[in-house]
Structure 1
Amino acid sequence: MPLYPLRFEPIFTTNLWGGRRLPAFLNRTVTHNDPIGEAWILSDVEGSPSRVADGPLAGTTLREVFAADPGRIVGAAQAPRGRFPLLLKFLDARQELSVQVHPNDAQAALLGPGKFGKTEAWVVLERDAATSRLFAGFAEGVSANDFRAALATKTAPSTLHSFTPNVGDCLFLEAGTVHAIGSNLLLFEVQQTSDITYRLYDWDRVDAKTGQPRQLHVNEGLACADFGRGPCYPVGPAVAVSNGVRREGLVACDYFTLERLTSAAPFRVGAANQCRAVVCVKGHGELESAGARYPIRTGDVYLLPAEVGAAIVVPATEVTLLECGLPI
């Protein structure tokens, strides 16, 4: 069966720090009133695979599509242990997330086969100017002993570099960077296919459902924390404007590339024989590929398999897309 641009149904997760913005942002409904912290929009994480939303492969999981012939999906890019290597999600932080850290590949491999580290990047979609903060890396001069002492006195956030983000800011976080997402933020995140998080401090809160604090992983987190990692600042995008299309290069690392494209005129996404995922974060229109058109609107993600290659976005209004790629 020929492949085509694959759109996926989001997987919503309930989190005590979450809000209620994500279903409407993704043009979906949910049948419960619990706080929703994340929407996984492209996932090959064990136990949480994305499912194709429409077309001949509707209902098929990303795992099943990928396992049939990985090369048709990723082309010449690497797929460690036969898994799609990226996890894409939206986050709605009504409250602060924990102060946390993620392992690198070598540290994660010690946990067992099929475990990967977590290098990630965020893009700020909405924020509250009065209350929103991002915490990323240690403040200047903070040592490992300073941080350990702050954990003991429950003042860990004060040891981290923090700032009020602007809408559009992109932050790149290598594995080992101690970080936290503050309150009243809506973010897009791209990361390695990994769900390993070590909580170091959780703002002394209690889970209303259990009446207990959430589990911390202080020893594991300290073993993974990079104490040489100072303040992390928003990236300075490489901007190019041509034919009405604004292209911003945000991240190019060993695990993924991230670019932001904005235009009211038709423009190309993807590339021949390369795998890309495009995520609409503003506006709506259509995606044209091989003579067929597919609707695309805020919150949609389309996977463009290497077999499909490039496609054309035809905006109905000005559209902003985030395009994630795999290094070759």
Structure 2
Amino acid sequence: MIMNKDIIFLTPVCTHNIWGGTRLNREFGYPIEGDDIGECWGISAHPNGDGTVASGAYKGMKLSELWEKHPELFGDTGMDRFPLLVKIIDAKDDLSIQVHPDDAYAKAHENGSLGKTECWFILDCKENATLVVGHNAKTKEELEQMIHEGRWKEFIREIPIKPGDFIQIDPGTVHAI
């Protein structure tokens, strides 16, 4: 079998979110209307947003289908699903604080899903912008006390960011944009 060595371009999936803005259309040229476009899932084979091959030999195929039918294109990883989700996010408002599981927890408690490690590269942000990454509790007891007493400003750890910053969010880390 001759492997196709052309670059595979995908038509992304864009999502409407109450915290989204207009920059994905205005600055990146994604052809989606609205003032609430929060995410562009640029590389995704996720059931909630499966990218479509835009041109070439596999035009029209979903990325999940390409992964399943042509594993040789991806290095025959042996994984049962495409392991990445690459997004561009335009958040004009704060997002909810989240904590994601690791693979072992997700497999056991989330219907066999994969865990979630995130990496964020800051393309642009307002001056003096911050992200939530982690918390300030020193012990489990202090964590429980801060939460029960609603001491959120003291509990939540905010870090300053600027364009060009790279942040890795490991599973189990409190985080928010």
Which range, TM-score by smaller chain? 0.7 to 0.9
Task: Give the deviation of 1:127 after TM superposition.
Answer: 0.9
Task: Give the deviation of 1:2 after TM superposition.
Answer: 4.1
CA distance in 2, matches of 1:125, 1:174: 20
Task: Give the deviation of 1:29 after TM superposition.
Answer: 2.0
Amino acid at match of 1:18: G
- For 2:113, the equivalent position in structure 1 comes to 115
CA 1:76 to 1:58, structure 2 compared with 1: closer, same or farther past 3 Å? closer
Partner residue of 1:133 out of 115, 130, 134? 130
Task: Give the deviation of 1:126 after TM superposition.
Answer: 0.5
- For 1:9, the equivalent position in structure 2 comes to 11
Amino acid at match of 1:122: W
Amino acid at match of 2:32: V
Spell out, residue by residue over 1:220-244, the C-alpha distance to the aligned partner (whole angstroms, 9 max, x if none). xxxxxxxxxxxxxxxxxxxxxxxxx
Q: How many residues align?
A: 175
TM-score (norm 2): 0.88
- For 2:58, the equivalent position in structure 1 comes to 57
CA distance in 2, matches of 1:24, 1:98: 25
Task: Give the deviation of 1:56 after TM superposition.
Answer: 2.6
Unaligned runs of at least 5 residues, structure 1: 182-328
Amino acid at match of 2:23: R
Question: How many percent of aligned residue pairs carry the same amino acid?
Answer: 32
CA distance in 1, matches of 2:123, 2:102: 27
CA 1:153 to 1:22, structure 2 compared with 1: closer, same or farther past 3 Å? farther
CA distance in 1, matches of 2:153, 2:99: 13
- For 1:75, the equivalent position in structure 2 comes to 75
- For 1:175, the equivalent position in structure 2 comes to 171
Is the CA contact (8 Å cut-off) linking 2:3 and 2:73 kept in structure 1?
Answer: no
Secondary structure, aligned partner of 1:127: coil
Q: Is 1:165 the equivalent of 2:161?
A: yes
Task: Give the deviation of 1:57 after TM superposition.
Answer: 1.7
Spell out, residue by residue over 1:105-140, the C-alpha distance to the aligned partner (whole angstroms, 9 max, x if none). 11101135541100111001101113x21111122x
Unaligned runs of at least 5 residues, structure 2: none
Amino acid at match of 1:59: G
CA 1:23 to 1:172, structure 2 compared with 1: closer, same or farther past 3 Å? same
CA distance in 1, matches of 2:26, 2:158: 29
TM-score (norm 1): 0.49
CA distance in 2, matches of 1:78, 1:122: 27
Alignment of 1:94-243 (within 5 A): 94-111=92-109, 113-130=111-128, 132-139=129-136, 141-181=137-177
CA distance in 1, matches of 2:75, 2:10: 20
- For 1:23, the equivalent position in structure 2 comes to 25
Structure with higher helix content:
2
Is the CA contact (8 Å cut-off) linking 1:124 and 1:169 kept in structure 2?
Answer: yes
CA distance in 1, matches of 2:29, 2:8: 17
Spell out, residue by residue over 1:197-218, the C-alpha distance to the aligned partner (whole angstroms, 9 max, x if none). xxxxxxxxxxxxxxxxxxxxxx
- For 1:42, the equivalent position in structure 2 comes to 43
Amino acid at match of 1:159: F
Q: Is 1:90 the equivalent of 2:91?
A: no
RMSD value, Cα: 2.0
